[in-house]
Amino acid sequence: MTRCRSDLNQSTIVRHLRQIGASVEVVSTQAHGFDLVIGYRGENFIAEVKQPGKKHELTDLERHKMNTWSGRYMVIDSIDDFIRQAEAAGERTL
C-alpha cells in the first residue's frame, strides 16, 4: 500500500494560491506522484509540495511522474517558489 501524507507547508501554500486567484485541487491523498493541480493565469500545473530544503527528496513515484509527465510539473516549497516557476514557464511559451 502506498503511503500518502501532506508536507506541513501544503495547507499554507494552498491558502496563498487561492488568495492570488489560483484554482487548486488537492490530490495528495491519491498517490498520483504529485500533490496539487493548479490553474493559474490560464495555465495548468501539477505540483509536488516539499518542505524547504527538501525539494530534491522525491519518492520513486514522484520522480517517475516528473520524468514522464508531458505537461507542467513542478516541485515547490512556497508560494514564492510557485510564482517564480509559473512565471518562468509562461516566458518559455511566448
Helices (H), the chain: 10-19, 60-68, 79-92
Give the pLDDT mean for 54-66: 95
pLDDT of residue 94: 43
Phi-psi region of 28 (alpha: psi -120 to 50; beta: other; left: phi over 0): alpha
Cα 3 to chain center, whole Å?
18
Task: List domains and CATH numbers for the chain.
Answer: 10-92 (3.40.1350.10)
Cell 522525491 locates to: 58
- Percent of the chain predicted with pLDDT > 70: 89
Decide: 52 and 78 in contact? Cβ < 8 Å.
yes
Would you give the DSSP letter of residue 8?
T
As a residue count, the chain comes to: 94
| Predicted TM-score (pTM) of this structure | 0.87
pLDDT interval class at 56 (50, 70, 90)? very high
